[in-house]
Amino acid sequence: MIRATRFLLLLWLHVAIVPAVSAAPDPLPSWNDTATKQQIIQFVEQTAESNSPQFVPVPERIAVFDNDGTLWAEQPAYFQLLYAVDQVKAQADKHPEWKTEEPFAAILKGDMEGVKKSGMAGVMKLVMATHANMTTDEFSQRVDQWMKTAKHPVTNKLFTDMVYQPMLELLNYLRSQGYKTYIVSGGGVEFMRTWAPEVYGIPPEQIIGSTIKIEYKLVEGKPVLTRLPEMDFIDDKEGKPVNIQKIIGRRPVIAAGNSDGDLAMLQWTKAGAGPRMAVLVHHTDAEREWAYDKESAVGRLEKALPVAAKEQWIVIDMKQDWKRVFPESTSD
């Protein structure tokens, strides 16, 4: 009788426990079950499993992500540029000279083509006029207010609702497996640090980007940091691996980007010894997002795509690999 009871108890435990083990939650539920998803999960599992020949110790598990076009959308223009445009409009009354001075005059006329014609020199002029000559606290407050109220010109969503749900899941999955996630973006570091920690779960010290010069001084006896109208470092193209080395001090195990501006970062990551994964997001979904690559002025993808094919990097086909693109919107 005792043996029978013990047998039934063991049988019940087997029935109760086995389904719970086999029903492990999908770490990437917004991804279609394609080879891309399987490759990513397999790589992460192999590098996180202590008995695996591909095992990577926790301190070395570094994953870096571009932001614009990789973690959130970037069309029809980089969102930080749209912030600058809105700031010009908001401050126009204090700058009557902008009515005749480009690229400000074009912005006030609603002529975005005119802004584009001003080229990089015009963009830099615009950025310095809206990002400098204020304290770091003042700049953060302006960005925070804009992010809470400004809407995307096409979707009418808050810009924080224009992040990619599949990439949010990937960030969370990597962290659950001992990876430290970083943003390495051409965007302004102080611009991103205002909102990105809450949206991506990445702390400010793990956000790397372009910087303008900052000056320390005492104002009425109080120490302040003032943003100067002069570039310090542009975190794009070859600047990305340089900044990773300077700031992180470790070669990443995983790197993800979406444009030629990320090519150097991906190449440098893959060149390291041991297991490495390079991921390229290809915008192929004109219905749910945008479809663009080598012909685009924003997020141009021409050189990196053939390199990815040749080197067998993981290329995310947005249309094929993602069940959904954006999270449930809070601003529709």
pLDDT tier for residue 20 given thresholds of 50, 70 and 90: very low
* Beta-bridge partners for 212: 231
Could you tell me if residue 281 is inside a domain?
yes
pLDDT at 9: 46
> Which residues are within 8 A (CB) of 310 and not within 5 positions of it... i.e. 6 or more apart?
none
The one-letter code for the residue type at 34 is T
CA distance 294 to 163: 22
pLDDT at 116: 79
pLDDT tier for residue 228 given thresholds of 50, 70 and 90: very high
CB–CB of 44/173 below 8 Å?
Answer: yes
Could you tell me if residue 107 is inside a domain?
no
- Answer with the residue of higher pLDDT: 262 or 329: 262
Quote the number of domains for the chain.
1
Could you tell me if residue 305 is inside a domain?
yes
Q: Please give the structure tokens belonging to residue 118.
A: 């001003």
CA distance 128 to 230: 7
| CA within 13 Å, CB half, 103 | 26
pLDDT at 289: 98
Could you tell me if residue 171 is inside a domain?
yes
CA distance 113 to 127: 17
- Answer with the residue of higher pLDDT: 21 or 60: 60
Whether pLDDT at 275 is above 70: yes
Could you tell me if residue 116 is inside a domain?
no
Could you tell me if residue 282 is inside a domain?
yes
Domain of residue 218, CATH code: 3.40.50.1000
Average pLDDT, the chain: 92
Could you tell me if residue 94 is inside a domain?
no
Q: Give, as one character, the DSSP assignment of residue 299.
A: S
Could you tell me if residue 250 is inside a domain?
yes
pLDDT digits (tens, 9 = 90+) for 112-170: 888 878 888 888 999 999 999 999 999 999 999 999 999 999 999 999 999 999 999 99
CA distance 302 to 294: 4
- Answer with the residue of higher pLDDT: 19 or 299: 299
CB–CB of 74/299 below 8 Å?
Answer: yes
CB–CB of 248/182 below 8 Å?
Answer: yes
The one-letter code for the residue type at 257 is G
pLDDT at 330: 55
pLDDT digits (tens, 9 = 90+) for 285-315: 999 999 999 999 999 999 999 999 999 999 9
Domain span at residue 294 reads 26-74+157-321
Q: Which of 69, 41, 257, 292 is nearest to 164 (CA)?
A: 69
pLDDT digits (tens, 9 = 90+) for 190-205: 999 999 999 999 999 9
Mutual orientation of helices 165-176 and 35-48 as an angle, nearest 10°?
20
CB–CB of 326/199 below 8 Å?
Answer: no
- Answer with the residue of higher pLDDT: 3 or 54: 54
pLDDT at 18: 47
59 prior amide bond cis, ω within 30: no
pLDDT at 112: 82
CA distance 197 to 169: 15
pLDDT tier for residue 7 given thresholds of 50, 70 and 90: very low
CB–CB of 28/40 below 8 Å?
Answer: yes
CA distance 73 to 78: 8
